[in-house]
Structure 1
């Protein structure tokens, strides 16, 4: 069995949230189905894997485009998606193998969250998972202008805890987030093989 750990040279850890700390994918998919039922359109779950890490508004634009929806306000779709997700927050499950790493290094080195989720969604999830207080900084979609796969989210995490990017270790499940970590020059672990244990 592989053990999840940090790089020996890492001085700060940065965790993606959805799919890394939080097993939120089933809840997100169910939420999008509910939203698309309301808009009488189709939801293709394969876009989740393709677009993981992007802000919700990008998903809304994609769904509207793919379904040829006319006169649908993407902002309104996002509000409905977020509210439906927040109402389902009790269905979230933790990814224990990743969260155990958070507990292992809490108080020893800085820990941050770098997520494409909104501030409200990130805080609700972290509180539901009872790990909100373990992080020194949280960078959300609301805090940056350039989202994953660009490195701004992770670079801002490093800046907030005053650790050089090349001494930060990122834990990710999304391809776009992995590209962002590599662009930032950080150590990177793809957590997906560890989530099946």
Structure 2
């Protein structure tokens, strides 16, 4: 009964002609896996994992987060090297990706009824692996990632490109997101921004990934 009630919290109002979903933390319960990869990466350098900082910048590409980390903490981490190692580790861990059922239920409900896209700040390899792991890849006509060469969230470019590829006006798109940067990007694109955190439970405890590994 409680699970059914959660599903009802996500609705698509009249006038919406296309749906756009973030991936990590929205469709898939992968944030603990990402945090584990972050923690291992910092530990290898003898550094504590800056959890509050990572939560604050959730939804942004790894490379951008590391650039912001260097600037904020006065470090000179090898951004390219750290990014490559972290993304490879995430790729290995994504075999354990699980669907976030309230959002997935909505996506399945609208399969074949409305065109749908995924827009993520992750790499294409990891996003595709995640969607395959949770059995959703065939639902989405369009998948855009950090590898598509457009400015990342909170810039609206990725969402606007997704709408164009779906053939839907931006003002008729609804975006489902779990990150402040993504919600801001959706609003800047003129789309209806829906925060899924109240439904899926917000940010996870990164220790859950360690204990379940």
**TM score, norm. by length of structure 1:** 0.93
The answer to whether the aligner puts 1:178 opposite 2:148 as a matched pair is: no
Structure 2 segments unaligned to the other structure (5+ residues): 202-213
Root-mean-square deviation (CA), in Å? 1.4
Give SS of 1:126's match. Answer: helix
Q: Contact between 2:60 and 2:153, CA under 8 Å: does it hold in 1? A: yes
Structure 1 segments unaligned to the other structure (5+ residues): none
Q: Report 1:102-121 matches (<5 A).
A: 102-121=107-126
The counterpart of 2:83, out of the listed 78, 81, 87, is 78
Give SS of 2:174's match. Answer: strand
Q: CA deviation at 1:66?
A: 4.9
Give SS of 1:23's match. Answer: coil
Q: Contact between 2:160 and 2:170, CA under 8 Å: does it hold in 1? A: yes
The counterpart of 2:64, out of the listed 52, 58, 62, is 58
Q: Contact between 2:178 and 2:196, CA under 8 Å: does it hold in 1? A: yes
- Counterpart-to-counterpart distance in 1, 2:54 and 2:75: 19
- Counterpart-to-counterpart distance in 1, 2:118 and 2:40: 28
- Counterpart-to-counterpart distance in 1, 2:134 and 2:34: 16
